[in-house]
Amino acid sequence: MKIAILSRKSSLYSTRRLVEAGEQRGHEVKVIDTLRCYMNIATDQPSIHYRGQDLTGYDAVIPRIGASITFYGTAVLRQFEMMGVFPLNSSNGISRARDKLRSLQLLSRKGIGLPVTGFAHRPDDIKDLINMVGGAPLVIKLLEGTQGIGVVLAETRKAAESVIEAFMGLKANIMVQEFIKESAGADIRCFVVGDKVVAAMKRQAADDEFRSNLHRGGSATMIKISPEERKTAVAAAKAMGLNVAGVDILRSNRGPLVMEVNSSPGLKGIEETTGKDVASLIYEFIEKNAKPVSTRDSTVG
């Protein structure tokens, strides 16, 4: 198969692994800088151009679209979809997952466990908002934050009010969530491919930190997840419309709670922690689901 990887940098670990695994399986894999693509949106023959060439003949596209370029990246991916190219994750699925508030609303509609979450616009509503999520301590999250950036633990009610007021004063969109104390600074990253959790790891926050992100100094260990956690992760990915997802789960006294569904989960942490060849499992899914096209009239240099 001829497969495109939409990625800003070919040197990134996940991109390198996807190229390596694809070539090992006999595929022609090309890394395409998402922001260097430009499109001809035509009724009869939609096309994508890249460095002066017309991108044609691709069987599948693997989107590795960063949060900062979601708008343009999903536009490029939609163009591939219009051309009949199989997307590992669809543009709609990525857009749903990137909108943190919308994603939680979709998960809630499907009956998937979540931390109690509040959202408001006016400072007048802060006190009731805090009450809604069970009071302090609580977690305040910027809707546009990634990798733990823009996530604040307010340990007292007064601190919560001050932080929420400050964010609102900056016109920042935030949500407020209950603090799951029993998770003890740990979460579980479930890597979903198709209808299976193919790998899982426990991420533990550093001693002076409550965020378990590996980028924030957290540590990772392999973990065996329960059938309920497995079912929750797969259901969460399906609710977003994602074939591949990193589903972050907290263990709580009332069962697994989904914190976030990541549409471009990194491979480095999960592969190094579990020893599993997740990149090859992704290609297995593509091989089973993508329909090869006959045209092979253009290549990317």
Query: Where along the chain do the CATH 3.30.1490.20 domains lie?
Result: 117-179
Q: In the structure, what pLDDT confidence band is assigned to residue 297 with cuts at 50, 70 and 90?
A: very low
Radius of gyration for the chain, computed over Cα atoms and rounded to the nearest angstrom: 20
Using the CB atoms, write b or e for 169-178: b if 16+ within 10 Å: eeeeebbbbb
Model pLDDT, residue 210: 56
Work out the average pLDDT over 150-171.
Answer: 88
Model pLDDT, residue 273: 95
Work out the average pLDDT over 144-150.
Answer: 65
CATH number of 2-89: 3.40.50.20
Work out the average pLDDT over 59-84.
Answer: 95
DSSP letters for the chain: -EEEEE-S-TTSHHHHHHHHHHHHTT-EEEEE-GGGEEEE--SS--EEEETTEE----SEEEE---GGGHHHHHHHHHHHHHTTPEESS-HHHHHHHHSHHHHHHHHHHTT-----EE--S-GGGHHHHHHHTTSSSEEEEETT--TTTTEEEE-SHHHHHHHHHHHHHTT--EEEEE--GGGTTEEEEEEEETTEEEEEEEEE--TT-S---GGGT-EEEE-PPPHHHHHHHHHHHHHHT-SEEEEEEEEETTEEEEEEEESS--SHHHHHHH---HHHHHHHHHHHH----S-------
pLDDT, tens digit (0-9, with 9 covering 90-100), for 241-269: 999 999 999 999 999 999 999 999 999 99
Cβ atoms 201, 274 nearer than 8 A = yes
pLDDT at residue 120 above 90? no
Work out the average pLDDT over 200-229.
Answer: 77
Gap between the Cα atoms of 81 and 98, Å rounded: 19
pLDDT at residue 19 above 90? yes
Top CATH class of 182-263 equals alpha beta
Model pLDDT, residue 300: 43
Query: Where along the chain do the CATH 3.30.470.20 domains lie?
Result: 182-263
Q: In the structure, what pLDDT confidence band is assigned to residue 124 with cuts at 50, 70 and 90?
A: confident
Output the average pLDDT for the chain: 90
Work out the average pLDDT over 134-139.
Answer: 90
Work out the average pLDDT over 143-169.
Answer: 83
Q: Is 125 left (phi over 0), alpha (psi -120 to 50) or beta?
A: alpha
Work out the average pLDDT over 192-201.
Answer: 97
Q: In the structure, what pLDDT confidence band is assigned to residue 220 with cuts at 50, 70 and 90?
A: confident
59 vs 121, more confident: 59
45 vs 245, more confident: 245
Say if strands 53-54 and 47-50 run parallel, antiparallel, or are unpaired: antiparallel
Hey, what CATH topology would domain 117-179 get? Dna Ligase; domain 1 (3.30.1490)
pLDDT at residue 214 above 60? no
Gap between the Cα atoms of 296 and 289, Å rounded: 19
Work out the average pLDDT over 293-300.
Answer: 48
